[in-house]
Structure formats: structure tokens, C-alpha cells
Amino acid sequence: MVLTCFECGTERPEEEMVILEVYDRPFDDLPRKIAICREGDGSESLCQERLFDTDWADFRYFYCSSCERAICRQNPSNGWHGQFRVLDGEEVCLKCYERILLEDGVSREALEDGRLPGMFFSFGNPELLEAGYVPIKENVFIGGESTALALTHLALELIDQGSKVVIAYERLALGGLEGTVSLYAKEPHVQEVKQQR
């Protein structure tokens, strides 16, 4: 059987190809199989290297350090939505990042450096509600450093009281410079803080 290389378009016999399973989106249930040129000695080919090389093209793949799947860096449906986060120096796909957020919440260290680490969930954030999180501040407009700091201060206060917190992105401008986010928290002290606000 003759196959076409996903990267260079060369047609070669199947035995001269490597078949890889890749995911265009981290939440896809099934992978897509693609053929890539194989070097004669069995080592990684230039086409395999290019599949993961962001220096020359968009829509490159990465291996998630958590689930070890090859996943496209950008959502092929829109191109602007990055499908990974960097945790402890490792690239993690959004599916694994969501699982980590729901289990552990956002880390204190991630908030202390002035960022608002989070992600887009389904409309209405049902994943957070099902995991036991409750909304603390909803649809907060973040338009600069002062509004971001106010939200991170509240999130840090909740963490200091033993709660887990998650930031849900609602609407963000391209590049994430401004937009609206919601802060969710999980017991034990959520109700106390919510009543004080």
C-alpha cells in the first residue's frame, strides 16, 4: 500500500512510513492516524521533526507530559486558541490541565506572579459546578493590572483559608490583554468569604 506523508506530501510504500496517532483537539475521544516518512535506518526523520517544530509553521504538535498524547498546539477550528499550558516547565494539554485544576485548583505560586491562570470551560462552567466549586465573583472585567490584582488578592485569601480556587475565562480579547473572568472556589471556607463580599 502507498501512503502520503502528512508533512512533505511524498508518496511512499507503507513500510517506509511511520504511522502516528495525533489529536487535533485535546478533548477528542479518538486519534487521527497520519503517515510520516521514515528514515532508512529507523531513526526519526526530518518530517517527524517538523511535525513538532514551531519555528517554521503553525499548527505543530506537542507531546503532553501528562497523558503523553501528540496534540495540536492550536485549535484547528479557529487557530488562535492555544491547547496547552506550561506547568512546572512541562507542556500539558488542556484536557489534563482541566483535570489538574478541578482536582487541585490554581496554585498560590501561579497567582503570586500576577497572572490569572485559568481556562475556558463549557458555557455556564458545568465542569466546575459538578466538581463542587461555587462562583465567588462572576464576569469580572479585567482591563489592567489593578483589576487583575484585586481578583488575585481575593483568590489568595481563599487559598490561605484552605479553599481551592479556579479562574474560568468567560470572554478574552485576542492575546488575553483584557476580558471577563469568573472566580470559583471549593470548600471549606467558601461560604464565609462569599457572605463577606
Q: By three-state DSSP, how is residue 97 classified?
A: helix
User: Which ranges of the chain have pLDDT less than 70?
Assistant: 40-43, 174-176, 188-197
Query: How many other CB atoms are there within 10 angstroms of residue 96's CB atom?
Result: 21
Q: Tell me the HSE value of 80 on the side-chain side, using a 13 A CA sphere.
A: 5
For residue 195, what pLDDT is reported? 47
pTM: 0.85
Identify the pLDDT of residue 191: 53
Nearest to residue 14, comparing CAs of 37, 45, 40? 37
What's the pLDDT at 174?
A: 64
> What does R_g of the chain's alpha carbons equal in angstroms?
21
What does the pLDDT read at residue 103?
95
Q: Among 187, 197, 141, 191, which residue's Cα sits nearest to residue 165? A: 187
The answer to whether the CB of 166 falls within 8 A of the CB of 182 is no
Per-residue pLDDT at 43: 65
Check: CB of residue 33 under 8 Å from CB of residue 19: yes
CA 5, CA 89: separation in Å to the nearest integer?
31
Q: Which residues contact 143 (CB under 8 A, 6 or more apart)?
A: 178
At 82 the pLDDT is: 86
- At which residue does the C-alpha cell 492575546 appear? 175
Instruction: Tell me which residue of 94, 134, 142, 87 sits closest to 116, measured CA to CA.
Output: 142
- Cα 37 to the center of its chain, rounded Å: 29
